[in-house]
A and B are shown apart, each in its own frame.
Chain A
Amino acid sequence: MHGLSFEVANTLAGLLVLVSFLMIYQDRLPALLNVLGLHAFILALAVVWQAYVQDAPSLYVTAAIALGFKAALIPTVLQRIVVRLGIHREIEAVTGTGLTMLAGMGLVALSLELMLPVTTHADPVTREDIALALSVVLIGLMMMVTRRNAVSQVAAFLSMENGIDLAAAGARGMPFVVEISIAFSVLVAFLVIGIFLFRIRERFDTVNIHALDQFRGERR
């Protein structure tokens, strides 16, 4: 049983990392958002498995949130925004996909190298989860830096948050705070992103961050 629970948890966490890599080279927003949905779906599976293994019913709530909000609602809403803004056909210039992929691999190696030696006291399931979760977080962070479009930055941020959720679910017995924080961040991300994207459209007719960057505060 222990062997199986470990293998499944490890596979799901590994899949999450793999989907993070898939996100790196999506240069069309609708495709990127589909992959984001897939990312959240795999997170939900991983969390369900953790809930089962740890016998922690509260984690099922977390998984439900991941499935309902992150896998279904948010990608759908973002898709609609993208269509409304008329940028669904645009191809985003994703700079240096190959290099970014290589850097991503480096980040995965770094997180394994960093986390595995220091978590020797922890349960093996937790160990692998945390290490892989860290790589999802770091890849998300890197995508936020390399992407120029507001919607894809938000997608990158959400993938990063998925990584954190995986870590939180993997930490055995972490108290109620997980649920609060997840519900909270989902709600808020939804709210703020919606408002912001809408306003950005209203004001500038573009969601390209470059266009916003022309203003740097003091060049008026």
Chain B
Amino acid sequence: MIPLAGVLGAPLLGVAVLALTPGYRLSARLNVVLSLVAFAAALLLLLDRPETNRFLLIDDLNVVFVVLSTFVGFTTSMFSASYIGHELETGRLTPAYLRFYHAMFQVMMFGMNLALVSNNIGLMWVAVELATLSTVMMVGIYRTHEALEAAWKYFILGSVGIALALFGTILVYLAAVPVVGGGLDGMAWTVLLAHAGGFDPKLLDIAFVFLLLGYGTKVGLAPMHAWLPDAHAEGPTPISAVLSGLLLNVALYALLRFKILLAACPGGIAPGPLMIALGLLSLLFASLMLYRRRDIKRLFAYSSIEHMGIIVFAFGMGGPLGNFAGLLQMVMHSLTKSAIFFSVGHVAQVKGTQRIAEMGGLTETHPLLGWSLVAGVVAIVGLPPFGVFTSEFLVVSSTFARQPLLAVLLVIGLLVALGALLLRVSSVAFGEVRGPVRRVQASYVPIFAHLGPVLVAGVYLPGPLVAWFQHVAVLLG
């Protein structure tokens, strides 16, 4: 029970402490320490798993995500510490806002961790909402015209999504009541799963449609994606990194829990085709949209929509191989995309703008920063030797074996996105030097801490890890 208390308690403590700590240097450090504590506690969860109760649950599926989320939270807090110093210097943020920012960062981590470990579908909903609202506040933190519009759009679309998800949750409960009786049991996921066979399949179908649309809005699936590029582009870059790296994953995780439930209920619709359709739509739409991007953070935000599309598609195809590929892609995307945002954050500080047209020759002026951005992009478009290549290859090959026509569409989407991203990033990294060249205290540790495992995964996946993923993939049905 102690590790679990650490995962949830460290951020909760952090909210209180950071809200009270004056001085941004101290609070930035405290933020790192608290995030490290949560990460360490998450690692302990691998060894010592608490017993499941009606509220909290640690199983093979979510332990991966808890470790991933606390890890990315930890590295992001390190990146954030070096990033915000610069923001203070340029006067984009004031110390009072930074205090708020740090407290909100921990609120968000708490919300996400709680959503991942909750065994109660109502509690999970509350946690996702908490995480969403804390990010809304942070997206608007610069208080510029653009930031406020982005935050407003995110708030409105996010609320609609979250409302639909709650309606779906209520319907799941209603489906459960005749079988497991009312009260807490009707919302405990493990109890629901054990009795899912007896649920009314039609009611569960309708519930899933609401949940897919509701949580799908948070995942950023087209056509409910409109908030995502704005929120990524206008908020502080550490928040873009956690949005792409974590929040999208958490929403998808919630969806996966319900997918498992539906799979356990014979007579229900197969969630697959719905997910395949939304996934493909997001992939194709986002990859085409990538060409016209002029803002570098917006570019990578569309790439996140594209990847979420691939992942939802993979889970929609299902089967051991499809689910395996989806899980691997989720982990790889999370690590790679947040590493890219770490680089992009510093690049934008170097150039003093996010406009791609005003950047150029980065590898000449800032070799390390430039090359880490290039490495991140090479990884994210799915080129070897990085891990995304492995997972995308698995998605494509498993699809070819079952639905060749869908695989063709998938490959078209992937290639279009590859072209667009390489085109854009080559103009930033190579060619003549454009834009101002400022010195920035960049922190490379978080970037390499992310790209390192992605590179290793591309070359060699350790046996126990593969066995673990395979086991979870079977659970996903």
The contact sample of 5 A-B pairs, CB cut-off 8 A, is A118-B206, A157-B159, A175-B187, A200-B152, A218-B294
Of A15-23, A27-35, A179-187, the one contacting chain B is A179-187
| Closest 9 pairs between A and B when the two form their complex, measured CB to CB | A173-B182, A177-B122, A118-B202, A118-B203, A121-B178, A175-B184, A212-B149, A167-B170, A218-B294
With both chains docked as a complex, state the minimum distance between the C-beta of B49 and any C-beta of chain A, in angstroms: 25
**A177 & B294 in contact (Cβ 8 Å cutoff):** no
**Chain B window 224-257, contacts with chain A (Cβ cutoff 8 Å), 1 for yes, 0 for no:** 0000011001000000000000000000000000
On chain B, the residues within 8 Å of A181 by CB distance are 122, 125-126, 129, 166
Given contacts A150-B152, A196-B151, A203-B148, contact A184 B126 (CB under 8 A): yes
Beyond A144-B156, A172-B177, A174-B170, whether A161 also contacts B295 by CB under 8 A is: no
Known: A121-B178, A150-B152, A203-B143. 11 other contacts (CB 8 A): A122-B177, A130-B171, A157-B156, A157-B159, A171-B170, A173-B183, A173-B186, A175-B186, A175-B187, A181-B129, A212-B149
* Structural contact, A199 and B126, CB atoms closer than 8 A: no
Q: Report how far A189 CA is from B143 CA in the complex, Å.
A: 19
B229 touches A217 (CB 8 A): yes
Q: With CB as the reference atom, state the residue of chain A lying closest to B125.
A: A181
B383 close to A (CB within 8 Å): no
With A150-B152, A204-B145 known to touch, is A174 a contact of B186 (CB < 8 Å)? yes
Contact pick for A188, options B133, B187, B298, CB 8 Å: B133
Verify if A137 is at the interface (C-beta below 8 Å from B). yes
Of the residues A118, A130, A215, contact of B149 by C-beta under 8 Å: A215
- Sorting the interface of chain B by its residue count into under 10, 10 to 19, 20 to 34 or 35 or more gives 35 or more
Contact present for A217 and B152 (CB under 8 Å): no
Q: Which residues of B contact A168 (CB under 8 A)?
A: 166, 170
Taking the complex as formed, is B260 at the interface, i.e. its CB lies under 8 A from any CB of chain A?
no
A199 and B120 contact, CB distance less than 8 A:
no
Interface string of A114-138 (1 = CB under 8 A from B): 1101110110001000100010010
Q: In this complex, what residue of A is CB-closest to B153?
A: A212
Residues of A within 8 A of B202 (CB): 117-118
Contacting A at CB under 8 A, from B118-150, are 120, 122-123, 125-126, 129-130, 133, 136-137, 140, 143, 145-146, 148-149
Q: Is B200 part of the binding interface, using a Cβ–Cβ cutoff of 8 Å?
A: yes
A26-68: CB near B (< 8 Å → 1, else 0) gives 0000000000000000000000000000000000000000000
